[in-house]
Amino acid sequence: MPDPNLPPQGLEAGHGDSAPSRKTAAEFRSARWFGPADLRSFGHRSRAMQMGYAPEEWTGRPVIAIVNTWSDLQPCHMHFKSRVDDVKRGILMAGGFPVELPAISVSESYVKPTTMMYRNMLAMETEELLRSHPVDGAVLMGGCDKSTPGLLLGATSMNIPAIFLPAGPMLRGNWQGKTLGSGSDAWKYWDELRAGKITDQDWLGVEGGIARSYGTCMTMGTASTMTAIAEAVGMVLPGGSSVPAADAGHIRLASESGRRIVEMVWEDLTPRKIQTKAAYGNAIAVAMAMGCSTNAIIHLIAMARRAGQDIGLDDFERYSRKVPVIGNVRPSGNQYLMEDFFYAGGIKGLMGRIREHLDLSCVTVTGKTIGENIEGARVFNDDVIRSTENPIYGEGSLAVLKGNLAPDGCVIKPAAMDQKFLKHTGPAVVFDSYPEMKKAVDNEDWDITADHVMVLRNAGPQGGPGMPEWGMLPMPKKLLKEGHRDMLRMSDARMSGTSYGACVLHVAPESWVGGPLALLKNGDMVTIDVDARTINMDVSEEELAARRAAWKAPEPRYERGYGFMFTKHIQQANEGCDFDFLRTEFGAPVPEPAIY
């Protein structure tokens, strides 16, 4: 029998033959289940043997959980059903013992009312899966929008060695010789259909050509934003965040992630050793340079605070002023998609071009620093990944606005909107529900102009519920037929990272809990000044006080179940929409489970 205190024969516990182990097998979490000579451990070992495993397969070896978010209703993760075998191959090659633990898939395409309702459920599931099972490290398989932050939130709170394996973007879409991008071209051609510029048959062609393979959205949506952030913060192997899902390199990435997590267990390289405040600064800088999704703000704040790092809206504003957008990928860019970005040099190429904005000393899952990981990185297409001297937008992807409409902040994506709305004043047109708004925008006799400000409220974390991606309010049909394609829109909702337009989002506090947005009335003048970072309604304090006194809280959305728990404990957008009881500082650390 092998010595249970040593790595399996021929396998080293660090980087090279001379690197000593930082752990012994006797210190593994899994040893609490399999090691003792008692009745309970007899049960654990005998049940492993019931599944056909021999003691030689787990003795002295790290047990690696593969948290797999595959499902039959998750098109972004279709390949995970087979890709998990590639991860297992890598784990076995490195001397680990792989075990697959399925988790909720949070499919952006199908889950209603919104996957944001279930990001925290995935986080809780991940944390408790890792805590309750005899595992020493984890490979986290995700990619679709909320799966990346959900998995990382849970793994960070559990804080055993973990590595993230991104699903990768799908292949570019195609219709009649035109390149199609997820989401972005859906919104574009939907407006063209409503304006009478394309036919119903054209629309069916777009529908069949926009998503041609497994993988996540191939625009710079929330999926590619969050996997890039996961790499920038140090949780993904170098360059792994932008490998296309259908590329053979993705199979190799899966196997390499499996090999690397085994060494990370021996080294005791945990998420909190990687996820420093400086690492989150790197993540914000990369997000700004890539033309990131507005959702990045919510997820990054939640992730950082789970790691014990106090990141907030002011940090995003600071980086926004100094890091330009150099990733020329839709929707902030106007031509390229993630395939182009990857083959142009990918995330390593982009990070190399903003290295003066990065802390290169931050440690990553490789055990090496960010600086070491991007050493020698090259860019092969200067139009896809621009230089900082030739950006597609002179400031960062996102801007944080504050004022009497959003005292706790809101967000806009300046690079992906008609620039004439960067400074604008117009009368508000207010809707209290999505159906009410949808009915109005299809009315061609509606008395509305492109100078009006469309407002949707009751769509925030509690009001939505779950803060749905309703923030890219549809353009009124009347205006589309007049030739307009943008106008100022505002809500306490989110919008898809594939969306675009002059959309003010995440207004906090939300209207459902009595935020100032709840007090806005039709005809009130709203002023936005992106350069000054302000957003205000021209209503006196006296009038606002009177409206506040008359305001009545809406009836609760849920009276039982997960929705009830969600609305009782969800935080506002500027706090990351985490559950209050999951915050790191909420209570004492959760102990290891008792085994008797």
Nearby residues of 330 by Cβ (< 8 Å), 6 or more positions away: 181, 184, 219, 220, 336, 337, 498
Cβ 77 vs Cβ 144: under 8 Å = yes
Report how far residue 42's alpha carbon sits from residue 1's, in angstroms, rounded to the nearest whole number. 17
pLDDT (0 to 100) of residue 22: 81
Report how far residue 432's alpha carbon sits from residue 443's, in angstroms, rounded to the nearest whole number. 17
For 553-592, the pLDDT digits (tens) are 999 999 999 999 999 999 999 999 999 999 999 999 999 9
Mean pLDDT calculated for residue range 159-176: 97
Cβ 357 vs Cβ 323: under 8 Å = yes
Q: What percent of the chain is predicted at pLDDT more than 70?
A: 96
For 112-129, the pLDDT digits (tens) are 999 999 999 999 999 999
Q: Answer yes or no: is pLDDT of 450 > 60.
A: yes
Q: Got the DSSP string for 275-340? A: --HHHHHHHHHHHHHHT--THHHHHHHHHHHHTT----HHHHHHHHTT--B-B-BTTTSSSB-HHH
Q: Answer yes or no: is pLDDT of 142 > 50.
A: yes
Q: Which residue matches tokens 């070992």? A: 45
Span of 239-243, 330-334, 503-507 with lowest mean pLDDT: 330-334
Q: Answer yes or no: is pLDDT of 16 > 80.
A: no
Report the relative pairing of strands 525-529 and 423-431 from DSSP bridges.
antiparallel
Which residues does residue 369 pair with via DSSP β-bridges, in sequence order?
363
- Quickly count: other Cβ atoms within 10 Å of residue 266's Cβ: 27
pLDDT (0 to 100) of residue 21: 56
